[in-house]
Structure 1
Amino acid sequence: MRVTKEPEVRKQEILDTALKLFGENGYEKTSIADIAKAIGVAQGLCYRYFPSKEALFDCAIAQYADVLVEQFADAEKDDRKTLRQIIEEMPTTMEKQDTKYYSVFHGTENRKFHDQLALKVCEKLVPLVEKLLQRAKQKGEIQFDDLQAAATFCVYGQLGILLAEDLTQEDKSKRIREFLIFALHL
């Protein structure tokens, strides 16, 4: 018997199943046919929502990036804190190991996926950081004009530290916080 689901529910089911299989079997060893079989639907249904496995994966990256960036949205909404306080209270890590996404982006053979995720998170964080910098400028906390460049540098500039495998999460956080406070003259 055919089971009909709302389009967004079905799309999410396909994404969730794909992530599970990518995590278990690896991206290269997982096909659209494998995903469809695991859900119990025709392969064509998956292609209705995603024209290719790559498009499906890109959507998963964007979705996970949204989840991670959402953790910073509260900082932008709370205008009582100074920019320095926001930096000092930034989460030390954005990811939780027990999520459906973690194994996909942190598997030994999935390094390039993690790097793609990091770039997508940066892309989504820049506008948020730019708003924080704009507010800090209005409050007189910072004195420079090119806020877009500053936001881009603050976000993308962290990647070298965040992706370093020889540093602990604590060391990464400490270095990033200290540098941002120094660079922004806070």
Structure 2
Amino acid sequence: MRIIKEHGERKAEIVDVAQTLFTTKGYANSTVNDILEALNIAKGTFYHYFASKEAVMDAVIEKYIDAEIAAAKIIAEENILTAHEKLFRILYCTGRENEFGDRLENEARAVGNADLHQRTMASIVTGLSPILADIVRQGIQEGTFNTEYPLECMEILLAASEFLLHGSAFSWSCAQRQQKARALAWVAEKALGVEEGQFSYLYEKQEGHKEQL
């Protein structure tokens, strides 16, 4: 007997199962039938919530981004941390370059939908920029940052990072990508008025991540 569940609960279950399949079996190798079998639901139930497998991937990415933004908010609200400490924890410790995030990003590219990727980048920029801008304002009060455009700087830096380092528009080699990360860290230091080397962890993380692949 099938169990009747609330609309939001069933939809969340479909997203969770799809997320597991896409990051383990791969997007291209996963089918709607795989999701149906894992949840023991009818095809009509699936299409009640999602128009296609691609639409589920969209929801999986949205869920992941929401989790990243929520984690950043928690760190930003830690009153005992300095601005530099907050940025380090958000950009280095909880950033997108982790094993799961990397797998999900690779599978998202397999969808082959430029509009989906563009929406993903826009969601990251619009969601994270205000949080990071508040941290920059804290840094200005602490005397460690110096910029007249906290929000705009973070929007530009995040957009550049998403497009140059995470996007699929360029076929950078590993060495080229590392060089872009170094340059972006340098630009961030200049834009936020901090000493050279303060954001070295941005490219050190990129280099360390690529060495593990």
* Structure 2 residues not aligned, in runs of 5+: 195-213
* Structure 1 residues not aligned, in runs of 5+: none
Give the Cα separation in 2 of the matches to 1:18 and 1:136.
40
How far off its partner does 1:59 sit? 1.2
Change (3 A) 1:57 1:2: same
Give the aligned partner of residue 96 of structure 2.
94
Q: Write the letter of the residue equivalent to 1:26.
A: Y
More displaced 10-residue stretch of structure 1: 83-92 or 69-78: 83-92
How far off its partner does 1:112 sit? 5.3
Give the aligned partner of residue 151 of structure 1.
154
Change (3 A) 1:129 1:34: same
Give the aligned partner of residue 2 of structure 1.
2
Helix, strand or coil: the match of 1:158? Answer: helix
Q: Write the letter of the residue equivalent to 2:96.
A: M
Matching of residue 74 in structure 1 with residue 77 in structure 2: no
Identity %: 20
Q: How does 1:1-186 map to 2 (within 5 A)?
A: 1-23=1-23, 24-27=25-28, 30-89=30-89, 90-91=91-92, 93-97=95-99, 99=100, 103-107=103-107, 110=110, 116=117, 117-159=120-162, 160-161=164-165, 165-167=173-175, 176-186=184-194
Helix, strand or coil: the match of 1:91? Answer: helix
Give the Cα separation in 2 of the matches to 1:130 and 1:31.
41
More displaced 10-residue stretch of structure 1: 151-160 or 103-112: 103-112
Task: Report Cα offsets for 1:38-95 as digits up to 9, x if no partner.
Answer: 3211111112222333332211111011223334223311244443344455415534
Give the Cα separation in 1 of the matches to 2:98 and 2:31.
27
How far off its partner does 1:158 sit? 2.2
Change (3 A) 1:88 1:126: closer
How far off its partner does 1:128 sit? 1.1
Q: Normalising by the residue count of structure 1, what TM-score does the alignment of the two structures yield? A: 0.72
Q: Normalising by the residue count of structure 2, what TM-score does the alignment of the two structures yield? A: 0.64
Structure with bigger RCO (C-alpha 8 Å, 6+ apart) = 1
Corresponding pairs, count = 183
Task: Report Cα offsets for 1:109-164 as digits up to 9, x if no partner.
Answer: 63858x92455333321121122233334445444433331120122222324565
Q: Cα RMSD (Å) of the superposition?
A: 3.6
Give the Cα separation in 2 of the matches to 1:111 and 1:174.
29
Give the Cα separation in 2 of the matches to 1:105 and 1:87.
22
Give the Cα separation in 2 of the matches to 1:112 and 1:176.
27
Q: Is the 8 A contact 1:129 1:151 kept in 2?
A: yes
Change (3 A) 1:63 1:168: farther
Give the Cα separation in 2 of the matches to 1:123 and 1:112.
23
Q: Which structure has greater helix proportion?
A: 2
Change (3 A) 1:25 1:184: closer
Q: Write the letter of the residue equivalent to 1:38.
A: A
